Amino acid sequence: MHSPFELRTPRLSLRPLTIEHTQALTEIYADPEVARYIGGDRLTPEAIEYQVDGFAEEWMDRGYGQSAVFHRETGEFLGRIGLHYWSNWDEIELGYILGKSAQGQGFATEGSQSWIEWGKANENIPYIIANIHPDNSASIHRAKKLGFTYDRNDTTPSGLPTLIYRLDL
C-alpha cells in the first residue's frame, strides 16, 4: 500500500507505518541495544504487532502518526519516526526508533525535523513533546538540538520512567 502522504528529506522518505512494516520493525526491535529504552523484553512479536496496528489506526483517526522510514537512495527500511498521541497526557509526541545500522548518521534528526516542520504547518498542534527514558542521553541531546526544552519527569502508562521535553510550535 502506498499512501499519498509522504514527507521527503534529502536522504529519507517517510510514509505511514502500516501492518506491512511489522516484520521489519520486529527485526529492528530484536536488537537489545535498540529496544532497551522503549520496552526491551516487553516488545514481543505480539506486542509489536499490536503497537503497529495502533499506529496505523492513528493515521486513520488523526491524519498523522508514525512513519516508516526508508533511505531514498537504497530503499532500505531504517525504522520509524513520527507523531503519536498519548491519551494519558493529552499530548502529541515526536518519537523515533532506528535500526542500529542507521544510527549515528543524522537520520533521526533529519526525519524528526521534517515532522517538526509538518507540525508547525498544522495550526491545531500548538506544541509537541519528546518522551525520553532518563538514561537515553543520545535522545536527550537530540531533543535539545531540535529545540526541545525539559518540561517534567513522568511515568509512561507501562510504568517506565520518562523525561518529558517540550517544543512549542
Which of 70, 74, 78, 84 lies closest to 3 in space, CA to CA? 70
Round to whole Å and give the CA distance between 38 and 57. Answer: 20
For the entire predicted model, the pTM comes to 0.89
The amino acid occupying position 18 is T
Domains of the chain, residue spans: 7-168
Which residues neighbour 48 within 8 Å (Cβ) at sequence distance 6 or greater?
22, 25, 26, 29
DSSP, res 84:
E
> Are 111 and 96 contacting, i.e. CB atoms less than 8 angstroms apart?
yes
Query: pLDDT tens for residues 117-141?
Result: 999 998 789 999 999 999 999 999 9
- How buried is 136 (Cβ within 10 angstroms: 0-12 exposed, 13-18 middle, 19+ buried)? middle
pLDDT tens for the chain, 169 residues long, are 345 689 999 999 999 999 898 888 888 878 778 766 566 555 666 777 777 888 889 999 999 999 999 999 999 999 999 999 999 999 999 999 899 999 999 999 999 999 999 999 987 899 999 999 999 999 999 999 999 999 999 998 878 889 999 999 9
pLDDT score at 15: 96
Please check whether residue 56 is in contact with residue 78, taking contact to mean a CB–CB distance below 8 angstroms.
Answer: no
14: left (phi over 0), alpha (psi -120 to 50) or beta: beta
Task: Answer yes or no: are the C-beta atoms of 95 and 66 closer than 8 Å.
Answer: yes
CB distance 146 to 112 below 8 Å: yes
Pick the CATH number of 7-168 from 3.30.1330.10, 3.40.50.720, 3.40.630.30, 3.40.50.300: 3.40.630.30
- How far apart are alpha carbons 115 and 88 in whole angstroms? 22
